[in-house]
Amino acid sequence: MKKWFIGIGVASLLAVGTYIYASGDRGTTGVVGREPVQEAPAEESTGSMKSFVIEANIAYTVEKEEMGEFADLVVLGVPQEDIGDRKSDIRYFPKDPGDRTDTPRDIEFLKSFVNFKIEAVYKNATGIKSGDTITISERTAMVDDEAGKRIVKLGHFDELQAKQQYVLFLKKAPDKDIYYVIRDNDGREKIAHDNSLEEQVEAILKKHRITK
């Protein structure tokens, strides 16, 4: 099985507080470092589309209680695209020149980009304002190749869903206008439509010591 480091550049990895080591293109996934590894099935179901997880060990250099201080941007808003409608960046390892089989190529790297429409800003070190749309990168993409059409994720997390309202804790890439959710699922808080928006937001901000 191939093993590799998957990154977005050393500077970006350090900047967003995530370090990734992955092996294979299917298997279990875990979070390592100061938390126990949590295994997940290799194949999941996302509606009618199969979802595969690249085996990955993900170490976060930022603790949960530090997210509010670490974030460049804390916002309320809504993703604009489903996973199948996103722009993606998918790269493969080259096949052995002597390989004449139809064996699917191994994925080396993948990410997708979702537009996120901002409705409110609670912490801002970037100049972003309510009404702006920013681009968020996630380690998942819709892949359509020799192995078929499927959703592939690097590590087990819940990708942002279109039209679902979230409060996000974001870090900006040091060299481009791209944002990353801090600590994956920990840095995204879904807003329930059947409860008070104001009360939910206040509870989230209080938990992370963010003052409006």
Going by C-beta distance under 8 Å and a sequence separation of 6 or more, which residues neighbour residue 25? Answer: 52, 54, 106, 107, 152
Q: Which two tokens stand for residue 13?
A: 């990895």
Given this model, what pLDDT does residue 73 score? 97
Other C-beta atoms lying within 10 Å of the C-beta of residue 44: 14
pLDDT tens-digit map of 101-131: 877 778 888 899 999 999 999 999 999 999 9
Query: Which parts of the chain fold into alpha helices (H)?
Result: 10-16, 67-70, 197-207
Whole-angstrom Cα distance, residue 212 to residue 210? 7
- The pLDDT assigned to 43 comes to 52
Q: Hunting for tokens 């804790």 — which residue is that?
A: 169
From residue 121, alpha-carbon distances to 29, 34, 113, 130, 138 in Å are: 33, 30, 21, 6, 21
DSSP state of 71: -
Q: Which residues fall within 8 angstroms of residue 21, CB to CB, at 6 or more apart?
A: 3, 5, 6, 56, 57
Q: Look at residue 9 in the predicted model and tell me its pLDDT.
A: 36
Amino acid sitting at position 199: E
Residue 182 pLDDT: 95
CATH architecture of 3-207: Beta Barrel (2.40)
pLDDT of the residue at 27: 32
Q: What is d(CA 49, CA 156) in angstroms, rounded to the nearest whole number? A: 16
Tokens encoding 120: 């409110």
The residues of the chain scoring below 70 in pLDDT are 1-48
Distance, in Å, from the CA atom of 114 to the CA atom of 83, rounded to the nearest integer, reads: 8
